[in-house]
């Protein structure tokens, strides 16, 4: 599979501010809220109380000696397994999601093939069919200008080898890119997924 086609949606300014306030009041990150929303959406669409999807992480644990001097791409994808409760409050669930994510980060230095081998699943069984990426690295025009650089026409084309992907871009309006494999989903389905997610 390859999530090469995509639809883009964005929250309104007001909805973005409410999401940020929800995260702040719950004591969690906006990335946690996005992952929880994806889990809730997957649970509702599949009729399951528990879902698994991939989450990208930096792969640079602070306790790694010399990490601040290392160059290179360290990102990795970890399986994120979340139970979507039928009872309780949203803020309590968000806190549990973030606590579980923090616990899982102890293993973010392991490559996905190694994690997969530890599961004991059959060789061709997939750990997950979708992936969530929260793009939290800054693109700062002012910082670039201070160094004599100008950024223009900046656009990334992101595809994954998963049938479905979600990339969230924080900003004044949270933007979401739902990537999909056009052999498995049609554009209308991807658009509805984006609408349901917002």
pLDDT (0 to 100) of residue 157: 66
pTM of the model: 0.85
Angle at 78 between CA 127 and CA 60, to 5 degrees: 160
Residues 137, 155: Cα–Cα separation, whole Å = 14
Q: Return the CATH fold of 5-197.
A: Chloramphenicol Acetyltransferase (3.30.559)
Residues 198 and 176 sit within 8 Å (Cβ to Cβ): yes
pLDDT (0 to 100) of residue 110: 74
Q: Enter the tokens of residue 159.
A: 């595809």
pLDDT (0 to 100) of residue 60: 67
pLDDT digit string (tens) for the chain, length 198 residues:
677 899 999 999 999 999 999 999 999 999 999 999 999 999 999 999 999 999 987 766 667 778 778 777 777 788 899 999 989 999 999 999 999 888 877 777 777 778 888 888 887 788 899 999 988 765 666 777 788 887 777 666 677 888 999 999 998 999 999 999 999 999 999 999 999 999
5-10 and 130-134 strand pairing: unpaired
Residues 128 and 52 sit within 8 Å (Cβ to Cβ): yes
Residues 146, 148: Cα–Cα separation, whole Å = 6
pLDDT (0 to 100) of residue 21: 96
Write down the residue that tokens 């056009």 correspond to. 182
């Amino acid at each position: 599979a390859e999530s090469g086609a995509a639809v883009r949606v964005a929250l309104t300014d007001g909805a973005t501010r409410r999401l940020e306030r929800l995260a702040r009041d719950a004591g969690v990150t906006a990335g946690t809220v996005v992952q929880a929303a994806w889990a809730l959406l997957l649970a509702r669409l599949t009729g399951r109380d528990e879902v698994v999807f991939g989450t990208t992480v930096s792969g640079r644990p602070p306790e790694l000696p010399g990490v601040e001097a290392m160059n290179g791409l360290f990102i990795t994808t970890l399986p994120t397994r979340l139970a979507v409760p039928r009872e309780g409050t949203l803020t309590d669930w968000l806190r549990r999601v973030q606590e579980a994510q923090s616990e899982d980060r102890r293993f973010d230095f392991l490559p996905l093939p190694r994690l997969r081998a530890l599961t004991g699943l059959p060789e061709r069984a997939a750990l997950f069919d979708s992936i969530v990426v929260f793009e939290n690295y800054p693109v700062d025009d002012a910082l670039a200008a201070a160094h004599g650089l100008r950024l223009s026409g900046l656009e990334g084309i992101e595809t994954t080898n998963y049938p479905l992907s979600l990339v969230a871009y924080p900003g004044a309006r949270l933007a979401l890119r739902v990537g999909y494999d056009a052999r498995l989903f049609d554009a209308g389905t991807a658009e509805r997924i984006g609408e349901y997610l917002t």
